[in-house]
Amino acid sequence: MSEIKNKYLHELSLKKESEDHIEFKEAKRDFNFDGGSHTDPKKRRHCVLGYVAALANERGGRLVFGMKDKKPHDIVGTSFAQDKLGDLEDEIYERLKIRVPVTEEFEPSEDADDRKRVIVFQVPSRPIGKMLKFEGVPLMRTGESLREMSDEEMFKILSEQEPDFSAKICEGLTMEDLDPDAIKVMKQKYAEKNENPGFEAFSDVQALSDLELLVDGKLNYAALVLLGKSKAIRKFLPQNNVVIEYRKDPASIQYDERQEFQQPLFLAIDSIWAYINQPSLNPQIHISENAYIFDVKLFNKATVREAVLNAITHRSMIVQNDVVIKQSPTELTITNAGGFPVGVDKSNVLTVNSTPRSKRLAEVLQKTGLVEKSGQGVDKMFTNCIMEAKPLPDYSATDNYQVSLTLRTEIRDVAFMIYIRQEQAKRPEHHKLNVFQLLAIYKVRFGEELEVLATTVDSLVSEGILMRSKTGRLSMSRAYKKIASEIGNSSVKVKENGGINGGINGGINGEVNALSDSLKRLYILVRDHPGINSNGIAELLKVSPRTAEKQLSNLRKKNLIEHRGSLKTGGYYAKS
């Protein structure tokens, strides 16, 4: 064996396959990618996809092409996927839904005439509680073979639970690192939710102890996420960051605007919504069809807030990725690291009550009324989309390592929106249509496959909300058809430049819309935070108090806001 000059390859050559989770293959010219023409399942699995699945199931490892599989792992070189590594990574992701970086190394050097090429697949670990499968079979390595997991091994993986990172003590975090305004908001919301006004008078230490954010005199990561000052978050958990990117064209690579929010969650959620809800980015759609007149926002406040809070609560805190929100006139996509919690997938997201990764964090959000009980938040998002006749929440881009939710702005049928609102409004509170009934009606209207219980459909037919023909075909009620005949089956689509299609105007206040982007943002902030003072505005906008005062003065001159109360204790309010 000649001395290996490439330091990385030299270190690889010293590794043991089983102990160091590495699989060496010569693959001088080619290697089976997906089983090829083999018919024997045991032979088919000896391919790139089979080894990637097996290594991922071993909590990650490396697949190396261009080195002998027997020690001392001499370098022989490989031409596999020459100049096609990007396509190779894409195809692995398409088949297994796992992102595997593939890198090249050369021996002895890149500019040597006799250099030999080695490629390394950096296979990440499978998610906790999940296993990767090749052609429906979860694989493991044993010596030179790839075998099917035993029932015991599969049960052990399926029984795994992620530890609650948010309940873990954040060493070094002190009460001085917490934002007093965030603590105040937390107390207020808890008092309102639980009808316990006395909670607001509790000391900060008592309040945090009662909510288990302070345990045995130490603060945990839930306290940091919910209440930590920006400086403390950057120090102790820098990945606790929400990034919003706005694009006029959702297909554009370059964003038009970008804003980061690294604030205590009790304050950040309002700032995030204020940014998304700027009049220029989230205008009103004015519906005016015969006697039916009302406004609908491109993005629904309750839906967006629930989606953002879900992303933060369910994200993996140990992965160094931001929560990313991509907004455009036609859609809003929220992506968080970690994949779905154990037991949840795209097909059962409405029916399975999941256990959030950050259970302590979720418990405080529930106790303070910011989120619904486990599972009910997704119900709310689906219900709101159906009530506005918009496309259903779309999780199709979700994989084992990230959750991606897309909300779209198109109103698919104005007549349906009017009908379903009227039907829901006339019902007493205890007899409102639930999300599965609404989903059945929605699917029938748009000719989509029904995925609800037969008893749900039967109840809707018996009430006359759906109609069933003698052949069993379902259709909409006469009440819906009457509205549709009056106004037609009109839809509303938003153009990529923000204009509205379908003959329906956007009802944006002209004076506000004429403002610069910075003043629009300030106006929305004041409108959504009645009574806020200049110092609070400066902190939320990350500008100096002097700059905030100057911008506030501009809005006052335009008669869009006013100051009420004394200079010391008063605040700013938007004029109606």
Which CATH number belongs to the domain containing residue 519 in this structure?
1.10.10.10
State the pLDDT confidence band at 513, using cuts at 50, 70 and 90: low
C-alpha 376: how far from its chain's center? 16
Distance CA 106, CA 109 (A): 6
Assess whether 482 and 519 both reside in one domain.
no
- Let me know if residue 142 belongs to a domain: yes
Assess whether 142 and 34 both reside in one domain.
yes
- Whether the CB-CB separation of 450 and 442 falls below 8 Å is answered with no
Angle at the Cα of 316 from the Cα atoms of 211 and 404, rounded to 5 degrees: 115
In this predicted structure, what is the pLDDT of residue 365? 95
CATH number of the domain bearing residue 237: 3.30.565.60
Q: Does the structure show a pLDDT above 60 at 63?
A: yes
Assess whether 49 and 19 both reside in one domain.
yes
CATH number of the domain bearing residue 49: 3.30.950
- Let me know if residue 496 belongs to a domain: no
In this predicted structure, what is the pLDDT of residue 403? 93
**Which has more pLDDT, 525 or 459?**
459
- Let me know if residue 384 belongs to a domain: no
Among residues 110, 119, 122, the alpha carbon closest in space to that of 5 is found at: 110
Assess whether 189 and 72 both reside in one domain.
no
Beta bridge partners of 408: 331
Query: Strands of 102-107's sheet, edge to edge?
Result: 22-25, 61-65, 116-123, 102-107
Cβ neighbors of 50 (< 8 A, separation 6 or more) are: 35, 44, 134, 139, 146
% the chain with pLDDT above 90: 58
Assess whether 186 and 263 both reside in one domain.
yes
Q: Are strands 242-246 and 323-327 parallel, antiparallel or unpaired?
A: parallel
**Which of residues 133, 158, 183 is at a domain's end?**
158
pLDDT by residue (tens digit) across 405-441? 999 999 999 999 999 999 999 999 989 999 999 999 9
Lowest mean pLDDT among 184-193, 308-317, 366-375: 366-375
- Let me know if residue 267 belongs to a domain: yes
Greatest CA span in the chain, whole angstroms? 87
> Tokens 């919301």 belong to which residue?
189
DSSP three-state, residue 455: helix
Q: Does the structure show a pLDDT above 70 at 5?
A: yes
Cβ neighbors of 29 (< 8 A, separation 6 or more) are: 78, 79, 80
Angle at the Cα of 520 from the Cα atoms of 516 and 526, rounded to 5 degrees: 145
Q: How far is CA 450 from CA 120, 415, 435, 438, 457, in A?
A: 45, 21, 13, 12, 9
Assess whether 426 and 565 both reside in one domain.
no
Assess whether 149 and 199 both reside in one domain.
no
- Whether the CB-CB separation of 26 and 130 falls below 8 Å is answered with no
State the pLDDT confidence band at 375, using cuts at 50, 70 and 90: low
- Let me know if residue 67 belongs to a domain: yes
Q: Does the structure show a pLDDT above 70 at 503?
A: no
Among residues 106, 6, 9, 24, the alpha carbon closest in space to that of 61 is found at: 24
- Report the C-alpha dihedral over residues 58, 63, 68, 73, rounded to 10 degrees: -70
> Tokens 């949840």 belong to which residue?
344
State the pLDDT confidence band at 527, using cuts at 50, 70 and 90: confident
Assess whether 148 and 179 both reside in one domain.
no
Cβ neighbors of 458 (< 8 A, separation 6 or more) are: none
Assess whether 343 and 449 both reside in one domain.
no
State the pLDDT confidence band at 549, using cuts at 50, 70 and 90: confident
pLDDT by residue (tens digit) across 223-265? 999 999 999 999 999 999 999 999 998 888 899 999 999 999 9
pLDDT by residue (tens digit) across 23-38? 999 999 899 999 988 9
In this predicted structure, what is the pLDDT of residue 109? 62
**Which of residues 372, 398, 425 is at a domain's end?**
372
| Structural domain containing residue 199 | 175-279+298-372
- Let me know if residue 98 belongs to a domain: yes
Run of H or E residues at 379: helix 376-387
Assess whether 58 and 184 both reside in one domain.
no
Average pLDDT over residues 468-472: 91
DSSP three-state, residue 562: strand
- Whether the CB-CB separation of 85 and 119 falls below 8 Å is answered with yes
- Whether the CB-CB separation of 553 and 563 falls below 8 Å is answered with no
Average pLDDT over residues 367-384: 85
Question: How many CB atoms lie under 10 A from the CB of residue 188?
Answer: 15
Lowest mean pLDDT among 67-71, 120-124, 353-357: 353-357
**Which of residues 104, 133, 158 is at a domain's end?**
158
Assess whether 143 and 183 both reside in one domain.
no
pLDDT by residue (tens digit) across 303-355? 999 999 999 998 988 888 899 999 999 999 999 998 887 778 888 888 877 67
- Let me know if residue 216 belongs to a domain: yes
Per the structure, the count of domains in the chain is 4
- Whether the CB-CB separation of 328 and 408 falls below 8 Å is answered with no
Assess whether 313 and 250 both reside in one domain.
yes
In this predicted structure, what is the pLDDT of residue 272? 97
pTM higher than 0.85, yes or no? no
Within 13 Å, how many C-alpha atoms sit on residue 44's CB side? Answer: 14
Within 13 Å, how many C-alpha atoms sit on residue 153's CB side? Answer: 14
**Which has more pLDDT, 514 or 64?**
64
- Let me know if residue 402 belongs to a domain: no
Lowest mean pLDDT among 155-159, 216-220, 267-271, 286-290: 286-290
Within 13 Å, how many C-alpha atoms sit on residue 309's CB side? Answer: 34
Distance CA 174, CA 204 (A): 12
